[in-house]
Chain A
Amino acid sequence: MDSSKKVDGNALEALKIEHAILDAVINNIGVGFVVSDHNGHIISMNKAAADIHGFVSEKEGLNHLSKYTEEFGLEYPEGGIMPTEEWPLSLALDGKYRNNYKVILKRYRTQSQRIVSYNTVPIYDSEETLRYIVLTMTDMTDMEERTKSLANERELFEGIFNRIPIMISIYDPGLKNFRFNSELKNVLGWEESDAADGNFMEKVYPDPDYRKQVAEYMQSLESGWKEWKATTKNGTRVESLWANIQLKSGIQVGIGIDVRKQKKSEEKLRENEQRLQSIFDHAAIGIVETDHMDRLVRVNNRMCEILGYSREELLGKTVMEITYEEDRSKTDFLNTSLHEGDMTMFSYEKRYLRKDGSPIWVHVSVSSIQDERKVYLKSIGTIEDISERKKAEERMLQALEDAEESKSILTALMEHIPLGLAIAEGPDIKIKVASKYGLATLDLPPGSVPYYDQYRGLGFYHSDGLTQGKASELPLNRAINKREIITNEEWMIKKKDGSLIPVLCNAAPVLDNKNRVLGGVVSWQDITDRRQYLKALQQSEEKFRSLFENIIEAAALHEVIYKKGKPAGYRLIEANPSYRDNCEYKGKSLTEIGPNGDMYLAEYYRVAETGKPYRFEVFYPDIRKHFIVNVISPRKGQFATVFEDITDQKRTEYEIKQKNEELTRFIYTVSHDLKSPLVTIKSFTEYLKEDIENNDETAQKKDIQYIQNAADKMGNLLDELLQLSRIGRKEDPKTETQLDEIIENASDLLAGSISKKSVTIQRTGPKLMVYGHSQRLVQLYQNLIDNAVKFMGNQANPVIEIGSIYDENRNEPVLFVKDNGSGIDPRYKHKIFGLFEKLDTSTEGTGIGLALVKRIVDVHNGSIWFHSEGKGKGTTFYFTLEKTYIIQ
């Protein structure tokens, strides 16, 4: 530095400026400068040096220099006090200059220490004489600490790098080398040496397409995780998640997680979760999760069922909304306690409000879930439907109330019931309560409880009134000890005065619901009155019985057989003798053989049901009898049929009707047929007068003839009418007569006309015996034979056959009179037996003949009919008479 050695004015001035600049630099740079003379006396220091020493200013530093060694000490960076000979200035004075001489500068007073790096530089003058020594001090304290912490970090990193359960690979593209951590080596099996050949990617991802994808992903530097299947050294493939990081230096870091374990645990978790979910969903109790606002955030199926809401409707509702109004304050209090951490769980019974507005009793258990700072997060509640239990409880309460009521009813009952009644408890038969009436019958004061000696019982005597009942025989003992139910058993009670009253006892055991005998109940009823009533009843019954047995009417009592509540038949209970004698036919009762089957059955049932009598008239064709049937019901379910035989009455009625008709017809006939000749007689009498006046003799004869004929006709008519009216009226008694006798008599009466027309009479068939009014029977044959003779027509060889044939169906002989005469036109057959019916005006007769015949047959309980092949072919009259029989 030649220029510095020259000292001139300008140069000085320039130097001064340079010095100032230097000063400014020295005072303002972060490196401390200390200048010493060649004897080691410090002559100046800059600001940075003062700072390093902990001085406020350079001046303070210079003032402290005299005591420097007392105030400051130097130590080796690796520890240990540095002797002063070793101090940088000492070394420099000794000619030993140092660069980056690191020491620890300690200020004793403050115990502060700094790591300082010294440089010592000698300054020589132009004569090469040492003049100054400059020490530069660089404060290394921060740097050292940084280095130290870096080392620590590195150590930490290495530790983490190799212990973290995450695979890490570091690739330095500059050096083209890999570093793997232990996890990667463990999981994949690869070592850094495996990657040294530069084909590591091919080894880990052997499939070219897959590898390409991986490489593209790595280059894209996408953030986030991606799953890849890396191949291990032994060839298996490992599912792993990878993230890619590229450092600024270009170093690529791959971070991988072996997800196999994770997956397994995830699966396990999911399984658990699912299981829990399923339990949650299908739990038999309601489960609900509420958030910090008490809103329902999770509910299970059961919860929905209990409340009658759908899940969607329920979620978001608050606990208060679904709580029954009366239970809201209780719920609010408990929930608040839970929120504030006063308690973490509670359970209680409350009512929810169902969707339909009805309350439902539930048992709720709630647990709160808090975070680690004990702040309330949410609650889980389990809900149990206890409405049934509540109902049962209510029922129980009701039952208790009822029991109270029953007790008061029982008391009232015991007070007022007109019946001996006692209730006993236990096997020792301790009477608990007895009715006032019952006590009175036993001559005990009201309100007392009778003493019951289970060996002797109450003072009950057998119904004979002589022997006292043994304890084991008494109703209450039997009810309790043998579980017997005793119905209407007769006993006697001996009163104090020695009199006996008849009682009717009923007793039964009292069982609990397990069928154990708790006690028994016995009742007794004074039947003195009833006995008298029964006696009266018995007498009445006897009267009725006698009436029933002796009345002419046939009476039968029947009982209706019910099946499933509906009448399904009946049975005969009883019949009186008249019924048995008159109303049974072929082993069946009349009630059974009613006409048209069950025509009256419904009526019988109705009578048995309602008791309202029914009456009808009926004809039984099987026995040819008419009855009036009175159906009455002596008691429900029974009916009696009383048959009144009205056959005779009916027959009489019929006969009267017939006779009335006959009479009407008679009157009618009289008004016409008797009037006719009268008209004739009167008219021709007038004509006769005229003809006499006119002297017309021929006409007179003719007139007289008409008058005579008419008068004769009238006479005959009146005769025959008289005869007809006599039949069935005043008669001789009916007798048995031989038929031949009757026929003979009849033929004799007609002998004239028979011989006149040369008619042959033939008698055929067996000999018969007939029964009746013989004169009438003669008249019958006389009329039939006369009829046959009259209607012989132009028959050249007239024959009348009189005989009989046996009719198997009728089981009796049928008599007949047969002719071979003119026959009867079938057109007129209905007129044959009518009164005054004449078929042929050309024949004589009044028209009464056949009516007479029919009347006679009727009187003899027979029937008559005829047969004719037609006109000109003859006629046969057939008839039957009662009690006709063959005698040979």
Chain B
Amino acid sequence: MEEGQALNILFIEDDPAHAEITLRNFKKNRISNHVVHLSDGQQALDYLFRQGEYADPEHSPKPDLILMDLRLPKVDGMEVLEKIKADECLKNIPTVILTTSDAEMDISKAYDFNVNSYLIKPLDLGKFSKLIETFGFYWVVWNKYPHCNE
């Protein structure tokens, strides 16, 4: 791993097994950034819009990158994406979808809401690992972020 940037990553995933796989791969690929893991759509919105249990900005720093699943309980991932991209303050945060759904309907809808990248979870662990590695290189190493003036 090249020199990484000190990024805050918001990771939204309801399936604990999938979360485990993803986080393990983060570790494996030495993505040692600050990762916040949330497991439903409502929590994600509360965190991003600083409401409910995340009302205190101290405990909810603005993420530099969002990695999220689409099928989320309570509030659907697509709805969360829509809200992020409709918000003046949040819309510039690169948001990457990581889901098992390869339905054309989901892909086109996500892009309609200006998703930055759409990734499908591979069945094969080796491929999963490779994907997270590439993701890490691309978004954490190479990608440049706007200056956050919070």
Residues on A facing B (Cβ under 8 Å):
668, 671-673, 675-680, 682-687, 706, 709-710, 825, 827-828, 831, 836, 838-841
Tell whether, in the assembled complex, residue A668 and residue B105 are in contact, meaning their CB atoms are under 8 Å apart.
yes
- B57 is an interface residue with CB less than 8 A from chain A: no
Q: Which 5 A-B pairs have the closest CB atoms?
A: A680-B17, A686-B125, A675-B100, A683-B125, A672-B101
Residues in B neighbouring A679, C-beta threshold 8 A: 17-18, 21, 100, 121-123, 128
Tell whether, in the assembled complex, residue B21 and residue A680 are in contact, meaning their CB atoms are under 8 Å apart.
yes
- Some 24 contacts from A to B, beta carbons below 8 A apart, are A668-B101, A668-B105, A671-B100, A671-B101, A671-B102, A672-B100, A675-B100, A675-B101, A677-B17, A679-B18, A679-B121, A680-B15, A682-B125, A683-B21, A684-B17, A686-B125, A687-B24, A687-B125, A706-B16, A709-B17, A710-B17, A827-B75, A840-B74, A841-B39
In the complex with contacts A828-B74, A841-B14, A682-B101 CB distance below 8 A? no
Residues in B neighbouring A840, C-beta threshold 8 A: 73-74
Tell whether, in the assembled complex, residue B17 and residue A706 are in contact, meaning their CB atoms are under 8 Å apart.
yes
Residues in B neighbouring A682, C-beta threshold 8 A: 123-125
Q: Which of A672, A678, A686 contacts B99 (CB 8 A)?
A: A672
Tell whether, in the assembled complex, residue A839 and residue B121 are in contact, meaning their CB atoms are under 8 Å apart.
no
Rounded to whole angstroms, the CA-CA distance of A684 and B18 in the bound complex is 10
Which B residues from 1 to 30 make CB contacts under 8 A with A?
14-18, 20-21, 24
- B103 is an interface residue with CB less than 8 A from chain A: yes
* Min CB–CB distance A689 → chain B (angstroms): 10
Tell whether, in the assembled complex, residue B102 and residue A676 are in contact, meaning their CB atoms are under 8 Å apart.
no
Residues in A neighbouring B39, C-beta threshold 8 A: 841
Residues in A neighbouring B102, C-beta threshold 8 A: 671
Residues in B neighbouring A686, C-beta threshold 8 A: 125-126
Residues in B neighbouring A684, C-beta threshold 8 A: 17, 21
- B71 is an interface residue with CB less than 8 A from chain A: yes
Residues in B neighbouring A668, C-beta threshold 8 A: 101, 103, 105
Q: Assign chain B's interface to a size class.
A: 20 to 34
Residue of B nearest to A673 (CB): B71
- B64 is an interface residue with CB less than 8 A from chain A: no
Tell whether, in the assembled complex, residue B125 and residue A676 are in contact, meaning their CB atoms are under 8 Å apart.
no
Rounded to whole angstroms, the CA-CA distance of A838 and B101 in the bound complex is 17
Residues in A neighbouring B17, C-beta threshold 8 A: 677, 679-680, 683-684, 706, 709-710
Residues in A neighbouring B128, C-beta threshold 8 A: 679, 683
* Min CB–CB distance B128 → chain A (angstroms): 6
* Min CB–CB distance B51 → chain A (angstroms): 13
SS class of chain B's interface: helix, strand, loop or mixed? loop
Rounded to whole angstroms, the CA-CA distance of A682 and B73 in the bound complex is 24
Query: In this complex, which of B17, B18, B74 has the most chain A Cβ atoms within 10 angstroms of its Cβ?
Result: B17
Rounded to whole angstroms, the CA-CA distance of A323 and B4 in the bound complex is 121
Residue of B nearest to A667 (CB): B103
Residues in A neighbouring B16, C-beta threshold 8 A: 706
Residues in A neighbouring B73, C-beta threshold 8 A: 838-841
Rounded to whole angstroms, the CA-CA distance of A828 and B72 in the bound complex is 12
Residue of A nearest to B25 (CB): A683
Rounded to whole angstroms, the CA-CA distance of A838 and B15 in the bound complex is 12
Rounded to whole angstroms, the CA-CA distance of A686 and B21 in the bound complex is 11
B63-75 vs A, CB cutoff 8 Å, 1 = contact: the mask equals: 0000000110111
Rounded to whole angstroms, the CA-CA distance of A841 and B42 in the bound complex is 12
Q: Which of A676, A706, A831 contacts B100 (CB 8 A)?
A: A676
Rounded to whole angstroms, the CA-CA distance of A668 and B126 in the bound complex is 25
B90-123 vs A, CB cutoff 8 Å, 1 = contact: the mask equals: 0000000001111101000000000000000111
Q: Which of A687, A706, A710, A839 contacts B74 (CB 8 A)?
A: A839
Residue of B nearest to A689 (CB): B125
Residues in A neighbouring B105, C-beta threshold 8 A: 668
Residues in B neighbouring A672, C-beta threshold 8 A: 70-71, 99-101, 103
Tell whether, in the assembled complex, residue B103 and residue A675 are in contact, meaning their CB atoms are under 8 Å apart.
no
Residues in A neighbouring B103, C-beta threshold 8 A: 668, 671-672
Residue of A nearest to B20 (CB): A706
Residue of B nearest to A702 (CB): B20
* Min CB–CB distance A831 → chain B (angstroms): 8
Residues in A neighbouring B70, C-beta threshold 8 A: 672
Query: In this complex, which of B15, B24, B103 has the most chain A Cβ atoms within 10 angstroms of its Cβ?
Result: B15
Residue of A nearest to B40 (CB): A841
Residues in B neighbouring A706, C-beta threshold 8 A: 16-17, 20
* Min CB–CB distance A687 → chain B (angstroms): 7
In the complex with contacts A668-B103, A687-B24, A841-B39, A675-B123 CB distance below 8 A? yes
Residues in B neighbouring A709, C-beta threshold 8 A: 17
Rounded to whole angstroms, the CA-CA distance of A680 and B22 in the bound complex is 11
* Min CB–CB distance B5 → chain A (angstroms): 28
* Min CB–CB distance A323 → chain B (angstroms): 96
Residue of A nearest to B70 (CB): A672
For the complex with contacts A677-B17, A686-B126, 19 further pairs of A-B residues with Cβ separation under 8 Å are A668-B103, A671-B100, A671-B101, A671-B102, A673-B71, A673-B100, A675-B100, A675-B101, A675-B121, A679-B100, A679-B122, A679-B123, A679-B128, A680-B21, A827-B75, A828-B74, A840-B73, A841-B40, A841-B73
Rounded to whole angstroms, the CA-CA distance of A828 and B100 in the bound complex is 23
Q: Which of A676, A836, A841 contacts B18 (CB 8 A)?
A: A676
Which B residues from 64 to 89 make CB contacts under 8 A with A?
70-71, 73-76
Rounded to whole angstroms, the CA-CA distance of A686 and B126 in the bound complex is 9
Residues in B neighbouring A675, C-beta threshold 8 A: 100-101, 121, 123
Rounded to whole angstroms, the CA-CA distance of A567 and B125 in the bound complex is 77
Residues in A neighbouring B121, C-beta threshold 8 A: 675, 679
* Min CB–CB distance A711 → chain B (angstroms): 11
* Min CB–CB distance B146 → chain A (angstroms): 32
Rounded to whole angstroms, the CA-CA distance of A841 and B40 in the bound complex is 8
Rounded to whole angstroms, the CA-CA distance of A676 and B22 in the bound complex is 13
Residues in B neighbouring A838, C-beta threshold 8 A: 73
Which B residues from 30 to 63 make CB contacts under 8 A with A?
39-40, 42
Q: Which of B15, B24, B122, B124 contacts A676 (CB 8 A)?
A: B15
Residues in A neighbouring B126, C-beta threshold 8 A: 686
Residue of B nearest to A709 (CB): B17
Rounded to whole angstroms, the CA-CA distance of A739 and B125 in the bound complex is 52
Residues in B neighbouring A671, C-beta threshold 8 A: 100-103
* Min CB–CB distance A824 → chain B (angstroms): 11
Residue of A nearest to B41 (CB): A828
Residues in B neighbouring A831, C-beta threshold 8 A: 76
Residues in B neighbouring A687, C-beta threshold 8 A: 24, 125
Residues in A neighbouring B18, C-beta threshold 8 A: 676, 679-680
Residue of B nearest to A840 (CB): B73
Residues in A neighbouring B124, C-beta threshold 8 A: 682
Residue of B nearest to A707 (CB): B17
* Min CB–CB distance B44 → chain A (angstroms): 13
Query: In this complex, which of B71, B105, B122, B126 has the most chain A Cβ atoms within 10 angstroms of its Cβ?
Result: B71
Rounded to whole angstroms, the CA-CA distance of A476 and B149 in the bound complex is 113
Residues in A neighbouring B71, C-beta threshold 8 A: 672-673, 676, 836
Rounded to whole angstroms, the CA-CA distance of A709 and B126 in the bound complex is 22
Rounded to whole angstroms, the CA-CA distance of A679 and B16 in the bound complex is 12
Residue of B nearest to A680 (CB): B17
Rounded to whole angstroms, the CA-CA distance of A507 and B74 in the bound complex is 92
Rounded to whole angstroms, the CA-CA distance of A840 and B105 in the bound complex is 25
Rounded to whole angstroms, the CA-CA distance of A752 and B125 in the bound complex is 40
* Min CB–CB distance A660 → chain B (angstroms): 14
Tell whether, in the assembled complex, residue B20 and residue A678 are in contact, meaning their CB atoms are under 8 Å apart.
no
Residues in B neighbouring A841, C-beta threshold 8 A: 14, 39-40, 73
Rounded to whole angstroms, the CA-CA distance of A306 and B42 in the bound complex is 104
Residues in A neighbouring B21, C-beta threshold 8 A: 679-680, 683-684
Rounded to whole angstroms, the CA-CA distance of A680 and B123 in the bound complex is 8
Residues in A neighbouring B99, C-beta threshold 8 A: 672
Residues in A neighbouring B122, C-beta threshold 8 A: 679
Residues in B neighbouring A710, C-beta threshold 8 A: 17
Residues in B neighbouring A827, C-beta threshold 8 A: 42, 74-75
